[in-house]
Amino acid sequence: MSDIDWQAPWLADWRAVGEPIAQQVATGCPQHQALNAARRASVRFVPQDDLPEGQAYEDFIFARGQVPTREGLHDFFNALCWMHFPLTKKRLNQLQAHEIARAGVGQVRGKVRDAATVFDENALLVQPSDALWEALTGHRWADAFMGLRSEWAHTRVWAFGHAALEKAVQPYKSITVHMWRVPLGVPSQDIDAWLAQDLTETKLSQKPFSPLPLLGLPGWWPDNENPSFYADPTVFRPKRRPSPIEKPHADQDYEALS
């Protein structure tokens, strides 16, 4: 917990709640106890050992309203997400649990569970103009981050994915998140309720994600003030069109898609 830089821009919305909890954990308080003491979540956090052997994690949460929690950054940020986006996290859990009830756990999660997992672990919510969204999803990185740079001052961004936040504790250039577009008319205070409604089985099964190198966001990393930062095709990849016979596997790593 001592490694977390609470001044990082991607933690701006998480700092007020998360930093005091992290300080308690750093002094030796068990993570689930520190999280519960904050009284900010609609679920309770329990030790990982409370998850019965053979029961699916998401099914356990759905049945009991309890979240098995390991020590460490990954589950810490997951818990903070439950505090900041309670309706959305509940919706994601419902989607996972319903799919498990319908099809079982299995070796392959299937489209809906796979997409819900990608969102849960790696989503970044972005509320851009049409021009900025088209540049981002078209991988026109110079346009998105330099030509339209002034737009980022009034483009709202919300961090969501807890795995992405864990990676960002030790930032590196190729951290890639998956954008989910928020319409311009959605107020910040309504983002959780809107998102919970927007996450439908149909929409998720279409995998409407677009990759974004996290440290490319203007103001989020000092090196990106230099246009040459974006001239790295190993990170800021051009748009790749799949061939007609190319069909990504349901469990394919989305961070590898460009």
Based on the number of CB atoms within 10 Å of its own CB, is 217 exposed (0-12), middle (13-18) or buried (19 or more)? buried
Would you give the DSSP letter of residue 72?
Answer: S
Q: pLDDT in tens for each of the 258 residues of the chain? A: 889 999 999 999 999 999 999 999 999 999 999 999 999 999 999 999 999 999 999 999 999 999 999 999 999 999 999 999 999 999 999 999 999 988 776 666 788 999 999 999 999 999 999 999 999 999 999 999 999 999 999 999 999 999 999 999 999 999 999 999 999 999 999 999 999 999 999 999 898 899 999 999 999 999 999 999 999 999 999 998 765 554 443 333 334 333
Q: What is the pTM of this model?
A: 0.91
H-type alpha helices, the chain? 15-26, 31-37, 57-64, 73-84, 86-103, 111-122, 130-137, 141-142, 162-168, 191-198, 201-205
Q: For residue 81, which of 127, 28, 20, 124 has the smallest C-alpha distance?
A: 124
Helix (H) or strand (E) holding 211: strand 210-213
| DSSP category for residue 146 | I
Residues 6 or more apart whose CB falls under 8 angstroms from that of 184 comprise 127, 129
| CA–CA dist 195, 120 (Å, integer) | 12
What lies within 8 Å, CB to CB, of 156 at 6+ separation is: 126, 127, 182, 188
Name the residue ranges covered by the structural domains of the chain.
Answer: 9-108, 117-241
